[in-house]
Each structure stands twice: as C-alpha cells, then as structure tokens.
Amino acid sequence: MRKNYMKIFTRETCERMKGMDVMERRQKLAGVLTAFFQGKLPVMSPAIEIAKEMGIDQELAQKVLSILAQKGMTGPDDAPDVMNRNQPVTAGVFYTAVGDPMAPFGFEELFDLVDMRGSGQTSFDILDVTNAITFAEVKSGEKMKVYGISTAKSSIEKMIIAAAIGILDDWINYAMYWNLNQAAVEARSKYYDKMATDHYALLAAISSDQNESFSTSDVKTMNNACSKIFTDLAGKGYVLTGNEQFVLRANPALKERIEYAFTTNFNSPNGGKEQIVFNVTRAYTTKLANTSYYVGLPGRKAKRGIWSDLTAETDRDILLRGTDVAYCGEYNAGIGEEDQFRRCALS
C-alpha cells in the first residue's frame, strides 16, 4: 500500500524557483511555508493529481474537467472553496498531495479559545467568579439589586515562540525537493509539539490540593474526582447542571488500565460491578507523566489565546549560500481556577 505523504515542493517547484531572482524566491518561500504552517495550502483536485502522477497532460485534464463542470457532471463549478481563498502568493508555485493531518495532541479541548489575532492587545484577563450574580424576585416598583464584580483577575501575556531553518541553494538548484519538504514538515510539527508541551505543563502544574486519592478502584477514583469538582465549583458560583462533560488525560502507558475502567459496568459478569457514572471523554498524550492521570471540567476559566498564527519570513545568507527562514507564532494559556481539575492517584 502506498503511504500518504506531504508534497509541498516538487521537482517542478524547484525548476520554477531556480529561475527567480533572489527577492522573488524569498517571497515565494515565505508565502509557501506560511500557507503550509497555517494549513492553508491549496489542494489539487484528485483527478489532476492522478493525471500528474501518470504523466497525462494536466492542461488537457483541466480542460476536460472544466467542460464536465459546465455540463453539471461534476457538481457546481462555483462551489465555494473555503480552504483556497485569498492565496495569491502561493498559487502556481507548488501542488500538494494528501495533506498531513495535524497531530491530535488533545490540549485544545481543555481550554476555551480567546482569539487575540488583530486585537491590538498583548494580554487577556481571566476574571474571578467572586461576587457572582444571583437572581431574586423583584416586586413591582422595587429597585433590583446591583451586584458588584470583583476586580481580581489573572492576566495572560502573549508568548512568542520562534525558530529558524536554513534552505540551501543546492536544494532548489538541484531539485532536492525532499529536503525542502522534510524541513517544512519538521518545522511545523515541532512548533505544535512545543505548543502542546506548554499547555499540558499548565495541567501538570496544578497544586497538590487537587490530588485525588486512590479509592479501591480507578472507577471509584474517577467518580470521586468528578463529584469533588462539582462540589468545589458549585461553592464558587459556577453555573452547573450536573450533566457536564468531563475530560480525562493520561500518558499512553496507562491506556490499558484506563480503558479497562471504562469497560466495566453494573452488569459486568466477572465481579467489579461498578461503572463510571459521569460523562467522561478520554485521550492520551506523551506530555504527561505516567504516575497519575487528570480529570477535569474543560473550558470555563481554563483559557488559551492565539495572538498570531505560525508565519515565516526569509533573509538571504550569502555565507550559507542559501536562505534563512525564520518562523514564529504567538500564544499562551492559563488555568484561572484549579478546582476544575483533579490529579488522580494510581494506588
């Protein structure tokens, strides 16, 4: 079976860039890499890609598809392409095969997103829930009570994450497109790996006050953790229905143990007639130690912000005989209320 892989640059790409002057080449490199980093690469239609792989004239294949589209045989030809809008820098410079999916780190589910892109601010605040609003009956003619809002808050400042890669002239002049692809994919994957590490570090850093002792079984421990979260947050003014969805995060080394806990139920034939009675989803990450696992209520006062997406800039390095590509992004996160999470013991 042929393995799917990412084609950002191709032999044809290198041939086109080889004929560009230095400034144009730098612009194209920056445009292509930025589009790739942000997941905005235009994807060639499967028919054109198959034609390319089989050596069939692509221009002819495109004309055939256009005629078929006009006759309504391939669907509406004006269907919106939400992935490929406003990409003039990258158009015609490369084509892609199957796009590589972003690694499922799973930290995004733990935090509500605060979109700071274009906000003009370098931080956002997580407000305390003290002096929460409560409703009371107001009789006709009475003035309703105005509840104060606490000024206590946690400020989350943007964090700039940056690195650089070198693109040698020989990679382009001699069509070493595999090196270009490898450098681009590695740059993006390491950036998002760093982002996952930083977010999970916040979860791992919750205080020992959030430790949940082991209680005869993992099932009971998880149930106790969820109950404790409900009790603690209800006392702090959180609006809770009792039907909230919890999340569990653990190291893959604990997967067999945790999956077993999720399979047991009150009707189990082999003893252990117990089950997780709360709505809990789980995922696994290598970013957490295998000495415990975490159960929590996501979102609310656990927030992450993005100030700018991963972008690329280029500069000529005459000593290297190549182009330096600097890439950076801006993000940060915070947990404003530790009681949303519990660290569960294994024994």
Q: What is the pLDDT of residues 183-198, one digit of tens each?
A: 888 888 888 899 999 9
What is the model's pLDDT at position 174?
81
What is the model's pLDDT at position 146?
52
Instruction: Give the domain ranges of the chain.
Output: 102-347
What is the model's pLDDT at position 50?
54
> SS3 string of the chain?
CCCCCCCCCCHHHHHHHHCCCHHHHHHHHHHHHHHHHCCCCCCCCHHHHHHHHCCCCHHHHHHHHHHHHHCCCCCCCCCCCCCCCCCCCCCCCCCCCCCCCCCCCCCHHHCEEEECCCCCCCEEEEECCCCCCCCCCCCCCCCCCCCCCCCCEEEEECEEEEEEEEEEHHHHHCCCHHHHHHHHHHHHHHHHHHHHHHHHHHHHCCCHHHEECCECEHHHHHHHHHHHHHHHHHCCCCCCCCCCEEEEEECHHHHHHHHHHHHCCCCCCCCCCCCCCCEEEEEECCCCCCCCEEEECCCCCEEEEEEEEEEEEEEEECCCCEEEEEEEEEEEEEECCHHHEEEECCC
Considering the entire predicted model, what is its pTM? 0.74
What are the residue ranges in the chain where pLDDT is below 70? 1-7, 42-103, 129-151, 268-272
Q: Which fold has domain 102-347?
A: phage-related protein like fold (3.90.1690)
What is the model's pLDDT at position 224?
98
What is the model's pLDDT at position 20?
84
